[in-house]
Amino acid sequence: MKKSPQTSLIHTDYSAPEGFAAFPSAIHHASTVLFRNVAAMRSGDWKEKSAYTYGLHGTPTTFTLEARLAEIEGGAQCLLAPSGLAAISMVDFALLKSGDDVLLPDNVYNPNRELGRWLSSDFGITARYYDPLIGAGIAEMIQPNTRLIWTESPGSVSMEVPDLPAICAAARARGVLVALDNTWSAGLALRGFDLGVDIIMQALTKYQSGGSDVLMGAVITRDRALHDRLSLAHMRLGMGVGADDAYLVLRGLPTMKLRFEAHDAAARKVAAWLKARPEISKMLHPAFEDCPGHEFWQRDFSGAGGLFSVLFDARYTEEQTDRFVDALKLFKIGYSWGGANSLCVPYRIQSMRKHWSGAGTLVRFNIGLEDPADLIADIEQALQTLQAS
């Protein structure tokens, strides 16, 4: 058919030859997905990964990322979301309704806590908080209307490590689902499904991308019926991710384990040095004995990554510890972790927790990929500011 120049700009007779192969996954940009014929359009099911229906429900790029993430976690299905918080929200809205009850650890990721407050105030869903070290004692908190228990291992600020198998066993005995925020271990150092977890959430913003430049989350399951419930919420909430962002995470996956291990090794060196300093009263690093739940970390984990916290001695005021953070040169002030650059953030932990007995200011460190000796030197010079009047 003869076409005008304008039509030729939109419709081309050319198709690239088949047989091209390369290491990177292809980037498929698409909102509209084309069908071979009307029958294919009418038979397509957005819930099935064997066909494509609309860009929001998946392209070869996002399907590839989902499959790889599920495999890393030992899961069977995966759904992508625009952020870690979006993934958490998707789980809550898929599984909870008015009159239901959800349990969250008192050390939960603060946006998850805020979401719990919103569910309570506007949706008639009670959100209650438990001691992260409660273990099997959580059975006493489970009510007839409890539908979901969130866990976080460890807590991403105060670093308590829960007894996941004990919590999961108590939940299973009462027919309650358990969701794990497994972002700290990147799915590499903790096998949540093997410990009894039903749902694993990951913030791919961290180690998976590794570049401090992508926002994305994932929800991974082993049970198909549970996945289908989550898929309905995923569709109804309009969750989707862009192909370029999915590609950036795919590009980061081959080096993730090497980077995670490098973060881990460097963090332990820095933490060991800090632990010996008189300015520090407590080391909150799961690999160190004085971290609450250390015995569960020893039992359940194979690594640690680069994130830990410390408590400064109570003799130092908040003003002094803020001055310490401001004096750091290599460490930058910012949330998140998993990127090449080291970060440091002070927290007003007393205002974040219902029950907190620790004294002194909590400061969280993310150890990046710089030389640990340089990071230690930077901390050492910043500690000198504590002595200034």
List CB contacts of 34: < 8 A, sequence separation 6 or more: none
**14 within a domain of the structure (yes/no):** no
Same domain, 80 and 164: yes
- DSSP count for the chain of H helices, then E strands: 12, 11
The whole-number pLDDT of residue 10 equals 67
The whole-number pLDDT of residue 226 equals 98
Q: Which residues pair with 72 in a beta bridge?
A: none
Residue among 32, 388, 69 nearest 217 (CA): 69
Same domain, 246 and 265: no
* CATH number of the domain bearing residue 352: 3.90.1150.10
Same domain, 289 and 375: yes
Q: Which of 250, 269, 301 is the last residue of a domain?
A: 250
Same domain, 51 and 131: yes
Q: Which of 225, 250, 275 is the last residue of a domain?
A: 250
- Pairing type for strands 126-130 and 101-105 reads parallel
Same domain, 181 and 78: yes
Q: How many CA atoms lie within 13 A of 352 on its CB side?
A: 19
Same domain, 243 and 332: no
Long-range contacts made by residues 329-336, C-beta under 8 angstroms, separation at least 24? 329/378, 329/381, 329/382, 330/370, 330/374, 330/375, 330/378, 331/365, 331/375, 331/378, 331/379, 336/205, 336/206, 336/212, 336/366
Same domain, 155 and 95: yes
Dihedral angle, C-alpha 55, 61, 66, 72, nearest 10 °: -170
Element (H, E) at 160: none
Q: Which residues pair with 202 in a beta bridge?
A: 218
Same domain, 242 and 261: no
Region of 260 please: left (phi>0), alpha (psi -120 to 50) or beta.
alpha
**17 within a domain of the structure (yes/no):** no
Could you give the number of structural domains in the chain?
Answer: 2
Longest dimension (CA), the chain: 84
Write down the pTM of the prediction: 0.93
Same domain, 163 and 259: no
d(CA 231, CA 90): 9
d(CA 148, CA 102): 5
Alpha helices by DSSP H, 209-242? 224-236
Q: Which of 250, 271, 292 is the last residue of a domain?
A: 250
d(CA 127, CA 119): 7
Same domain, 103 and 225: yes
Q: Per-residue pLDDT for the chain (389 aa), expressed as one digit of tens each?
A: 788 877 776 687 867 778 888 888 888 898 888 888 898 888 877 777 778 888 788 899 999 999 999 999 999 999 999 999 999 999 999 999 999 999 999 999 888 999 999 999 999 999 999 999 999 999 999 999 999 999 999 998 999 999 999 999 999 999 999 999 999 999 999 999 999 999 999 999 999 999 999 999 999 999 999 999 999 999 999 999 999 999 999 999 999 999 999 999 999 999 999 999 999 999 999 999 999 999 999 999 999 999 999 999 999 999 999 999 999 999 999 999 999 999 999 999 887 887 777 788 999 999 999 999 999 999 999 999 998 65
DSSP 138: G
Task: Note down the domain range covering 340.
Answer: 255-387
The whole-number pLDDT of residue 388 equals 67
Same domain, 214 and 344: no
d(CA 55, CA 60): 10
